[in-house]
Amino acid sequence: MRFVALILLILALAVLSLSVGRTWLSPAELVHALADPEGAGRMIWRLRMPRLLLGLVAGAGFGLVGLVFQTLLRNPLASPDVIGVSQGSACGAVAALLLGAPVMIGAWAGGLVAVAALGWLAAHPRLGIEPRAVVLQGLALGIFAGAGTEALILRMGDSNAGMAMTWLSGTLNGAGWPELGRALWLLPLMVPLLLSGRVLDRLELGDDLARALGLPVGQLRAGLGLVAALLTAGVVSVCGPMGFVALAAGPVGRLVAGGRPSPLAAMLAGAAFVTLADCLSRAISPAALLPTGLYTALIGAPVLILTVRRMARG
| pLDDT, tens digit, 9 for 90 and up, residues 182-213 | 888 899 999 999 999 888 888 887 777 878 87
pLDDT at 95 over 70: yes
Percentage above 90 pLDDT, the chain: 34
Does the pLDDT at position 272 exceed 90?
Answer: yes
Report pTM: 0.91
What is the per-residue pLDDT for 310? 72
pLDDT at 89 over 80: yes
- Residue 128 pairs in a beta bridge with 124
Nearest-angstrom CA–CA distance, 14 and 60: 14
CB 182 within 8 A of CB 104: yes
Mean pLDDT of 79-102: 90
Section 232-255 average pLDDT: 89
Quote the pLDDT of residue 232: 94
pLDDT digits (tens, 9 = 90+) for 118-129: 878 766 656 556
pLDDT of residue 161: 78
Q: What is the per-residue pLDDT for 127?
A: 56
How far is the CA of 109 from the CAs of 138, 169, 244, 276, 301, in angstroms?
17, 20, 22, 30, 28
Range of weakest confidence among 36-50, 259-273, 295-309:
295-309
